[in-house]
Amino acid sequence: MTDPSPALFTVGTRGSELALVQATATEAILRAAFPHLQIARKVIKTTGDRRTDVALAEVAKAEAIFDKGVFIKELEQALDDGSIDLAVHSLKDLPTVLDPRFTLASVLERAPIRDALVTRSGGGFESLASGARVGTSSVRRAKQVIFLRPDLQVVDLRGNVPTRLEKMLDGGHYDAILLAEAGLVRLGYLPDAAAASGPEPVLDMPGLFALRLDESVFYPAAGQGAIGLEIRANDSRALVLAEAIGHPATWLRVTAEREFLRLLDAGCHTPVGVYSTLTGGVLQLKARVFPEAGGAPQTSQAEGTDPLAVAKSLFDSLQ
């Protein structure tokens, strides 16, 4: 492909280990598609990275970020002032409704979507003793833990993936923690595919084991495992570049998942699990939604070929 413009193209990213791996992957795909493209990187510290003194679900309130985009605010500011041309996100961190100045241009091919339970014993939820402490910063994960095991304690857990694993390893505060399988794979803590159905050793973390949780039992977040590329809405050059490296099947799936959240008016910290599969051109969408007033969650599914129609059908089935 021919670069639509010789000007420098700047990629913006958070500074965590996982974010940098995702930025590196994005830049490599861009270079493969546009060999003459000049790419620079700008590392930006976001509100979510800076505010580790309060629970993640409370950061937006503490910082008056009402769209709940605690990991994107500063990246969008950099897009707005022109210091970056493309922002690389973990898609699950990106709100479903963006400021009109910005747009989600494309997504890269998706990594595994499941959550993983990390323990020192190598078991699943059934192996945890009553009262065991499970660490997570996600309301969705916390709600599902209590739904599956009401006798467990959910304890707030902040930090990047290596930091969370180190906290688990020291044994002081957590009996188990929950992390995204995609992050563990991208950082080299787990192989791309599970060798067996049971717990696996966490590489470079002796004494820790990870169990990849069946998505039909422990529902993932919308967009989990996908890398989203955000640009200025009026930037035609960035749009050409981003769309050229996008992955159509992943785009179809995450469009349905994010549209379902939009219809629910749900944000990044709303307790909703939703995931999709795409087989033979047929999209299947499943969701578990926890009511704000409390009580048992609603679970439903829908299928079809149009992602927006499938999302609407799933939304209607829960009304």
Residue closest to 205 by CA, chosen among 242, 173, 235, 164: 164
Taking the alpha carbons at both ends of the chain, their separation in whole angstroms is: 47
Gap between the Cα atoms of 95 and 91, Å rounded? 9
Point out the catalytic residue in the list 49, 85, 93, 175: 93
- The CA-CA-CA angle for residues 108, 111, 114, to 5°, reads 140
Q: Is the dihedral of CA 155, 159, 160, 166 positive or negative?
A: negative
Residue closest to 153 by CA, chosen among 123, 180, 129, 119: 129
Query: Do 250 and 257 touch, CB atoms closer than 8 A?
Result: no
Query: Do 4 and 69 touch, CB atoms closer than 8 A?
Result: no
User: Where on the phi/psi map is residue 177: left (φ > 0), alpha (ψ -120 to 50), or beta?
Assistant: beta
Q: Count Cβ atoms below 10 Å from residue 280 Cβ, excluding itself.
A: 5
Residue closest to 317 by CA, chosen among 278, 288, 294: 288
Q: Is 80 a catalytic residue?
A: no
Q: How many residues does the chain have?
A: 319
* Catalytic annotation, residues: 93
